């Protein structure tokens, strides 16, 4: 928990006065997204314009000045389409309509216009692996029955066992439980996520054609690009082979074991087709949310005729350890470069435990499982906060683009204490209550120190906010030198001035406990060990006050060396 006192303690003597950045023009011929800072808006939880307790487009529009003052180049908006919201909107019932809770298509267009006016591009989410079970296609498939062309758009199969009472194979849903659900006429449909998210069959022509239209539709309404949901799931082998009892998706991700339903080579041909649609438009970007075991696999998605970018979840998943972090950075830079792409850094998103909390736990603790019933006494909030600030300076100094998750600029930790009876994430039920799910990183943003839902809106908040939430509010940090908000603002402004176009980085040796590199005229140092002396140069920004001229533990600094 931070209050004003602690915020003052974090005030850095080096810190430059907060200045607002006037979006500078990009150098000619550099696609904007190659060096962009994109801010992820989980619209349900960002700002509530109509006081119904849920964030919406009106709320987001009203906060554009805030995003401009932060200095972001673009926003990525999580799905805002028509949906029963069983999986927060990743269960899309109509890809061409906005959910009334979030607003209207007209408002979405106005948002995009206003954002563009403010120099901020807008990326939207595309969810092509599955629809909602309330999508007209799925309803038609249920009505049409086995063997129909309507069913062929999904994966419908007869069951196994004497009377088809067993699922067609042993695949499991990512959220827990079997990946198959039986319908009244005894066929089963595949859903790698929630039961309400039937997987589409991408060998079906209707499916391909429909999704050629989606990027066009979005682009024609002003979207500058697309974040694509779970690309590695797109292709399933027609034989639907069993994976065996011991199959474990997390094991697969950590070992690189092959899987019949993830990361199949055949999906790249689908991506190429999409990319050719996007290439009808100038300057459009497509980002893959690809959880794959290695950078060798990830780089395949980044070939010149596929995705422009892919989140580097290896960086996100790294423990607070200098050699692990630096080896992941080196790998990302090298492998992305090998296919002509740039790395795309991310520390938090709406699916993972916020990094201020991950870093507050000892290395080796699985934060996702810790959330449910882990020992709270091992949580060191202050340490997590310091490390999160240092990590921000590290990430914003790296080559490539950066995705920030709403609230990280406030230093928000995970709300790990959400009572289980308020949980909304389907993971909680699907996992048989063995995983708490992702709600703790989706709690609505605190804008003011107190008042109704801490300034989120006039009508409460769809997830409860903890009483200490106001300590992290925008109001508590705005204009306060050394606050995390001002650290991010300064970092983004200095990134523009010194780092964005400075080319490659050169690694430096400042000892085993220090991650250190030079980029342009900036030396970035992150100290994982005991306080260390600083080299010559002007300290432009530091994540912590200096410790008698030394860089403290768990702190980062940008030094102008030339």
- CA-angle at 83, arms to 78 and 87, nearest 5°: 65
User: Judged by CB, which is closer to ligand GLC: 122, or 329?
Assistant: 122
User: Judged by CB, which is closer to ligand GLC: 90, or 211?
Assistant: 90
**Contact flag: residue 311 with ligand GLC (CB under 6 A):** no
User: Judged by CB, which is closer to ligand GLC: 39, or 90?
Assistant: 90
The span from the CA of 255 to the CA of 335, in Å, is: 18
**Contact flag: residue 95 with ligand GLC (CB under 6 A):** no
Q: Which residue, 418, 439, 412, is CA-closest to 354?
A: 412
535 token code pair: 């080299």
**Contact flag: residue 486 with ligand GLC (CB under 6 A):** no
Restricting to residues 373-392, name those near ligand GLC by CB under 6 A.
Answer: none
**Could you tell me if 239 and 273 are in contact, meaning their C-beta atoms sit under 8 angstroms apart?**
no
CB 56 to ligand GLC: min, Å = 19
Restricting to residues 117-136, name those near ligand GLC by CB under 6 A.
Answer: 127
CB 26 to ligand GLC: min, Å = 28
User: Judged by CB, which is closer to ligand GLC: 230, or 539?
Assistant: 230
**Contact flag: residue 230 with ligand GLC (CB under 6 A):** yes
Restricting to residues 168-207, name those near ligand GLC by CB under 6 A.
Answer: 193
Q: How many helices (H) and strands (E) does the chain have?
A: 17, 20
Q: Which residues are bridge partners to 532 per DSSP?
A: 551
Restricting to residues 343-362, name those near ligand GLC by CB under 6 A.
Answer: 350-351
**Contact flag: residue 138 with ligand GLC (CB under 6 A):** no
User: Judged by CB, which is closer to ligand GLC: 289, or 510?
Assistant: 289
Cα dihedral angle (175, 56, 493, 114), rounded to 10 degrees? 130
* Centroid of chain to Cα 166: 36
Pairing of strands 180-182, 187-190: antiparallel
CB 231 to ligand GLC: min, Å = 10
Collapsing DSSP to helix, strand or coil, 262 comes out as: coil
The packing angle between helices 205-220 and 267-278, to 10°, is 30
User: Judged by CB, which is closer to ligand GLC: 193, or 517?
Assistant: 193
**Contact flag: residue 441 with ligand GLC (CB under 6 A):** no
141 token code pair: 């498939």
Among 56, 73, 107, 229, binds ligand GLC (CB under 6 A): 229
User: Judged by CB, which is closer to ligand GLC: 198, or 520?
Assistant: 198
In order, the DSSP letters of 111-156 are: HHHHHHHTT-EEEEEE--SB--TTSHHHHHHHHH-TT-TTGGGB-E
Among 33, 46, 81, 90, binds ligand GLC (CB under 6 A): 90
Q: Which residues are bridge partners to 128 per DSSP?
A: none
**Contact flag: residue 418 with ligand GLC (CB under 6 A):** no
User: Judged by CB, which is closer to ligand GLC: 352, or 492?
Assistant: 352
User: Judged by CB, which is closer to ligand GLC: 127, or 298?
Assistant: 127
Among 87, 107, 263, 424, binds ligand GLC (CB under 6 A): 87
Restricting to residues 234-293, name those near ligand GLC by CB under 6 A.
Answer: 289
Report the sign of the C-alpha dihedral through residues 380, 382, 385, 390, in that order.
negative
Say which residues have a Cβ less than 8 Å from residue 135's Cβ, sequence separation at least 6: 92, 93, 94
Q: How many residues bind ligand GLC (CB under 6 A)?
A: 9
**Could you tell me if 396 and 419 are in contact, meaning their C-beta atoms sit under 8 angstroms apart?**
no
Q: Catalog residues that contact ligand GLC under the rule CB under 6 A.
A: 87, 90, 127, 193, 229-230, 289, 350-351
């Amino acid at each position: 928990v931070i209050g004003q006192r602690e915020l003052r303690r974090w005030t850095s003597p080096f810190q430059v006065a907060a200045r607002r950045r006037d979006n500078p023009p990009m150098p000619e011929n550099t696609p904007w997204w190659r060096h962009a800072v994109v801010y992820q808006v989980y619209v349900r939880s960002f700002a509530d314009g109509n006081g119904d307790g849920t964030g919406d487009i009106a709320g987001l529009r009203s906060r554009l000045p805030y995003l401009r003052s932060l200095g972001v180049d673009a926003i990525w908006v999580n799905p805002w389409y028509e949906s029963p919201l069983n999986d927060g909107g990743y269960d899309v019932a109509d890809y061409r309509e906005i959910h009334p809770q979030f607003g209207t298509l007209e408002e979405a267009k106005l948002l995009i216009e206003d954002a563009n006016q403010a120099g901020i591009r807008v990326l939207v989410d595309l969810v092509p692996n599955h629809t909602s079970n309330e999508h007209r296609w799925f309803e038609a498939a249920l009505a049409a029955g086995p063997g129909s062309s309507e069913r062929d758009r999904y994966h419908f199969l007869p069951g196994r066992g004497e009377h088809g009472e067993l699922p067609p194979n042993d695949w499991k849903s990512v959220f827990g439980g079997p990946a198959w659900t039986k319908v009244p006429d005894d066929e089963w449909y595949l859903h790698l996520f929630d039961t309400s998210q039937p997987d589409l069959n991408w060998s079906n022509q209707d499916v391909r054609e429909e999704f050629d239209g989606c990027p066009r539709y979005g682009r024609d309404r002003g979207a500058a690009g697309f974040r694509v949901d779970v690309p590695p799931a797109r292709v399933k082998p027609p034989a639907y082979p069993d994976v065996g009892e011991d199959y474990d998706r997390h094991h697969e991700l950590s070992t690189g074991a092959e899987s019949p339903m993830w990361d199949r080579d055949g999906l790249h041909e689908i991506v190429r087709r999409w990319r050719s649609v996007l290439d009808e438009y100038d300057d459009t970007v497509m980002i893959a949310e690809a959880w794959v075991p290695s950078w060798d696999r990830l780089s395949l998605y980044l070939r010149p005729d596929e995705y422009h970018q892919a989140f580097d979840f290896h960086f996100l998943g790294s423990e607070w350890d200098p050699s692990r972090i630096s080896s992941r950075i080196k790998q990302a830079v090298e492998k992305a470069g090998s296919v002509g792409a740039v790395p795309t850094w991310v520390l938090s998103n709406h699916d993972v435990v916020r990094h201020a909390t991950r870093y507050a736990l000892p290395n080796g603790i699985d934060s996702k499982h810790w959330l449910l019933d882990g020992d709270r006494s091992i949580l060191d909030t202050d340490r997590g906060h310091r490390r999160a600030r240092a990590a921000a300076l590290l990430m914003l100094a790296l080559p490539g683009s950066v995705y920030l998750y709403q609230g990280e600029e406030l230093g928000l930790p995970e709300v790990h204490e959400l009572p289980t009876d308020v949980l909304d994430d389907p993971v909680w039920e699907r996992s048989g209550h063995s995983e708490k799910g992702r709600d703790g990183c989706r709690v609505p943003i605190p804008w003011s120190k107190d008042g109704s839902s801490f300034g989120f809106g006039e009508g409460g908040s769809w997830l409860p906010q903890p009483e200490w939430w106001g300590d992290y509010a925008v109001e508590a940090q705005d204009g306060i030198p050394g606050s995390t908000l001002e650290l991010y603002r300064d970092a983004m402004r200095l990134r523009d001035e010194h780092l964005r176009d400075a080319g490659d980085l050169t690694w430096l040796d400042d000892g085993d406990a220090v991650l250190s590199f030079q980029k342009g005229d900036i030396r970035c140092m992150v100290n994982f060990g005991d306080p260390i002396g600083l080299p010559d140069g002007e300290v432009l920004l530091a994540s912590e006050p200096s410790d008698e001229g030394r860089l403290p533990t768990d702190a980062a600094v940008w030094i102008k060396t030339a």
